[in-house]
Structure 1
Amino acid sequence: MASPGIDFVTMFYWLMKYVVIGPAVKAIFRPWIVGRSNVPKNGAAILASNHLSVSDSVFLPVLVDRRMSFLAKSDYFTGKGIKGWATRFFMKASGQIAIDRSGGKASEASLNTGLQVLGRGDVLGIYPEGTRSPDGKLYRGRTGIARMALEAKVPVIPVVMVDTDIAMPIGRTVPRIVRVGIVIGEPLDFSRYEGMENDRYILRSVTDEIMVALQRLGEQQYDDVYASSVKDRMPRRS
């Protein structure tokens, strides 16, 4: 009989991070990190990261000391066969939460899921661009991150992933063994906008401030359009 108070989900997460996935990732890829101390040791916070590769959601949780959750598209959790099982296992083991990104009510549900994570006092990882960059540029941010930051009253910490698109570019299933890095900036405080989480102009202003911080931190080329629009204009792979 299980002892009261044991959280098996938490136990599984830490087992994967410190015994299985974490040591393997560190040994193989030798990732480096700058600014680790900018992540608060306690309390809820949002880590806002650029998004170059699906592997971003593996490297960041492994190298950040706090337990964190990522909002990941539900497609990663529905694959079939051995590959689908392996992907689903890896996503759950690294603390990722499946969300529906189809818009409308699904977007509202995703926002509420993020708020639940923050309400527990945990760290939430978000990609403000909403999808992976198709070409290495930094694109316009979606305002959902601003709503969560203002409603939950938490700081937003900019994070830049470095060379993860070289390790695992879009379309590649087996990563290349290259050294990747993470740069974490100082927390952004938006308490001056308290109570304005329903003002769309404020939400856009907060989101743009986050994207400026990301651009300055990583020096990526910035394009003020949505990454999803760029992807829609690209030829479909056969």
Structure 2
Amino acid sequence: MEFFEGTRAAFRSVISGTCRPTVEGLENFPREGPVIVAPNHQSFFDSIIVQALMPRKVAFFAKAEYFTAKGPKGSAMRWFFNSVGSVPVERGEQAASVAALQTAVEILERKEAFGIYPEGTRSRDGLLYRGRTGVGWLALTTGAPVVPVGLIGTDRLQPADKKMIKPQHFTLKVGAPLYFDKTGPGHSLPARRAATDKIMDAIAELSGQERAGTYNQSKQAQ
């Protein structure tokens, strides 16, 4: 824990010193107990930003190959993703799948915080896409509160298809927790859809994004 907190503090210092972010609503983040963190997704750096700036450790999924790559670059990637609290997930295993979400359930059962992007993959056109129902499944299954997060301007840190990183001001808004009755995994699809839509409405209010009304697709699927 000390290692993680030291790494998180280092990233927070770098982000604060180079980007001068505006951060609002940290008082909304529960200081203890299980928490589902649900941000919009515009940048590769969104997870790092959330992990660095939130009051508590937030675990996110990351591709398993980031943890198994060979050579000096692989070692650096493995150290980085381990240090920020990422959880390896096999390629092709979507965050909305039951197998991956069971890992999230285990994290929440330990009364920790878990981050999930309801859109699935990052938006490349600035629109807020329809939420996939994995976040609703997780909320209803565990009863953990969902903290919606609006990230504004993180897309400018590294525009889509660009390799250069440019420190830019961005805004992070933390909304009030959303609470759902704990039903266990036996809830209905309409209940899961309704919970997801409520979460997306809260994210939209925080981020101010125009909504697409459709699901986002990964670049490989387009």
| TM-score, length of structure 2 as denominator length | 0.90
Contact persistence 1:160–1:182 (CA under 8 A)? yes
Cα distance change, pair 231–197 in 1 and its aligned pair in 2 (3 A): farther
| TM-score, length of structure 1 as denominator length | 0.84
Aligned partners of 1:33 and 1:58: how far apart in 2? 15
Residue 157 in 1 paired to residue 147 in 2? yes
Aligned partners of 1:216 and 1:136: how far apart in 2? 15
Letter in 1 for 2:200: M
Q: Secondary structure at the match of 2:60?
A: strand
Residue 116 of structure 2 corresponds to which residue in structure 1?
A: 126
Contact persistence 1:150–1:197 (CA under 8 A)? no
Cα distance change, pair 38–214 in 1 and its aligned pair in 2 (3 A): same
Residue 144 of structure 1 corresponds to which residue in structure 2?
A: 134
The Cα offsets for residues 63-114 of structure 1, whole Å up to 9 and x where unpaired, read as 111121112233443445544443332222111111135248x922211110
Residue 207 of structure 1 corresponds to which residue in structure 2?
A: 196
Please list every run of 5 or more consecutive structure 1 residues that lacks an aligned counterpart in the other structure.
Answer: 1-9, 234-238
Aligned partners of 2:16 and 2:214: how far apart in 1? 35
Residue 96 of structure 1 corresponds to which residue in structure 2?
A: 86
Q: Secondary structure at the match of 2:149?
A: strand
Q: Which structure: larger Rg?
A: 1
Matched positions, count:
221
Please list every run of 5 or more consecutive structure 2 residues that lacks an aligned counterpart in the other structure.
Answer: none
Cα distance change, pair 75–209 in 1 and its aligned pair in 2 (3 A): farther
The Cα offsets for residues 109-133 of structure 1, whole Å up to 9 and x where unpaired, read as 2111101111111111110111111
The Cα offsets for residues 142-181 of structure 1, whole Å up to 9 and x where unpaired, read as 1111111111111111101111110122333342011122
Correspondence list, 1:190-201, <5 A: 190-191=180-181, 194-195=183-184, 197-201=186-190
Residue 22 of structure 2 corresponds to which residue in structure 1?
A: 32
* Percent of matched pairs sharing the same residue: 36
Residue 32 of structure 2 corresponds to which residue in structure 1?
A: 42
Cα distance change, pair 224–163 in 1 and its aligned pair in 2 (3 A): same
More divergent stretch after superposition (151-160 vs 65-74): 65-74
Deviation of residue 12 (structure 1)? 1.8
Cα distance change, pair 230–199 in 1 and its aligned pair in 2 (3 A): farther
Contact persistence 2:121–2:218 (CA under 8 A)? no
Residue 16 in 1 paired to residue 7 in 2? yes
Deviation of residue 48 (structure 1)? 0.4
